[in-house]
Amino acid sequence: METQRETMDTVLDEDMTEDVTLIDDEPDTASEPDTPDDLVFELDELNVYYGSFRAVRDVDMQVKSNEITAFIGPSGCGKTTVLRCFNRMNDLIETARVTGNLHYHGVDLYDRRVDPVEVRRRIGMVFQKPNPFPKSIYDNIAYGPRVGGLAKKGSELDEIVETSLRKAALWDEVKDRLKDSALGMSGGQQQRLCIARAIATSPDVVLMDEPCSALDPIATARIEELMQELKDEYSIVIVTHNMQQAARVSDQTAFFSVEVSSESDTRTGILVEFDRTEQIFSNPSDERTENYVTGRFG
């Protein structure tokens, strides 16, 4: 039976620990299932509604640690909507609500005791269009650690900025102009800066919503190389319209499609198939998946 989640009514945690537990009270056994160590997310009959309209229905999948999971499918099939559930970005939409179950390392992300701000610190996000703050390169990276209280001294902040830029393969390009405006960087550099900003708060997961769609092929190749380097430390979930990109970079692939109601002509996103990437692209089990990856539709 579906249980409606109260996505906006939350209880803030004031004593967050450094482990994965996001709630301060001992949860019920039902909300803390035993979870294998290599699983980051478990989705069970996940549905997303905007008002009375069900945008995505009955999504079941398991996202593994230190892997890249790609979401592919035609426009309007719910890829980004599901991605935004992982760090509760849909909470910011007044009419949105989530039903079903979404567990992060065994913790129910939509439990009322979970602090969504802490969720977004642990689960960072990089958006489709590079969106650096109108600040210096240094201040873009330092913003999250400052606000989150992760650095108390200037030297600590300097170390976080340098480490984050190095992980994003950007340090050598900007180390002599850290006080320059981030808006003066190229598009590819800005997107790597946004990745560095996302990892500066020491997240566990990095979500990427079509991070290369606005970039040229050279910048795209650099971001793809960076993702392969980062997955040693982070679990990555990426939405992409580029099937070749999904085949190149991901370990698991989820194919979403659209179900059109014959009565109301409404379009609901559905998860058609979820498997290892090589299986999805070489021998999918669903004909709809094969038709999409071979270019017969979409």
Residue 120 lies in a domain: yes
Residue 254 lies in a domain: yes
Looking at residue 151, its pLDDT comes to 73
Rounded Cα distance, 86 and 105, in Å: 12
Rounded Cα distance, 125 and 87, in Å: 8
pLDDT average, residue stretch 95-105 = 95
Rounded Cα distance, 182 and 188, in Å: 12
Looking at residue 209, its pLDDT comes to 96
Q: Provide the domain limits for residue 269.
A: 38-293
Residue 25 in this model has a pLDDT that exceeds 70: no
Residue 31 in this model has a pLDDT that exceeds 50: no
Looking at residue 147, its pLDDT comes to 86
Q: Residue 77, Cβ neighbours under 10 Å: how many?
A: 26
Residue 179 in this model has a pLDDT that exceeds 80: yes
Residue 28 lies in a domain: no
CATH of the domain at 71: 3.40.50.300
Residue 54 in this model has a pLDDT that exceeds 60: yes
Asked if 193 and 131 touch (Cβ cutoff 8 Å), the reply is no
Rounded Cα distance, 277 and 69, in Å: 9
Rounded Cα distance, 106 and 53, in Å: 29
Looking at residue 148, its pLDDT comes to 81
Asked if 228 and 200 touch (Cβ cutoff 8 Å), the reply is no
Tens digits of per-residue pLDDT, 240-289? Answer: 999 999 999 999 999 999 988 777 668 899 999 999 999 999 999 999 99
Q: Residue 9, Cβ neighbours under 10 Å: how many?
A: 7
Residue 27 lies in a domain: no
Q: Name residues whose C-beta falls within 8 Å of residue 60's C-beta, 6 or more positions apart in sequence.
A: 43, 44, 45, 46, 271, 274
Spell 201-234 as b/e; 16+ CB within 10 A means b. Answer: bbbbbbbbbbbbebbeeebbebbbebbeebbeeb
Rounded Cα distance, 250 and 271, in Å: 17
pLDDT average, residue stretch 33-37 = 62
Highest mean pLDDT among 9-23, 30-44, 168-182: 168-182
Residue 184 lies in a domain: yes
Residue 12 lies in a domain: no
Looking at residue 66, its pLDDT comes to 96
Asked if 185 and 132 touch (Cβ cutoff 8 Å), the reply is yes
pLDDT average, residue stretch 19-39 = 57
Tens digits of per-residue pLDDT, 187-201? Answer: 999 999 999 999 999
Number of domains, the chain? 1
Residue 197 lies in a domain: yes
pLDDT average, residue stretch 158-168 = 96
Residue 237 in this model has a pLDDT that exceeds 60: yes
Residue 8 in this model has a pLDDT that exceeds 80: no
- Quote the percentage of the chain above a pLDDT of 70: 86
Is the sign of the CA dihedral 17, 13, 123, 117 positive or negative? negative
Residue 173 lies in a domain: yes
pLDDT band at 214 (very low <50, low <70, confident <90, very high): confident
Looking at residue 30, its pLDDT comes to 44
Rounded Cα distance, 272 and 118, in Å: 32
Residue 91 in this model has a pLDDT that exceeds 60: yes
The SS3 call for residue 276 is strand
Average pLDDT of every residue of the chain = 87
DSSP state of 94: T
Looking at residue 23, its pLDDT comes to 58
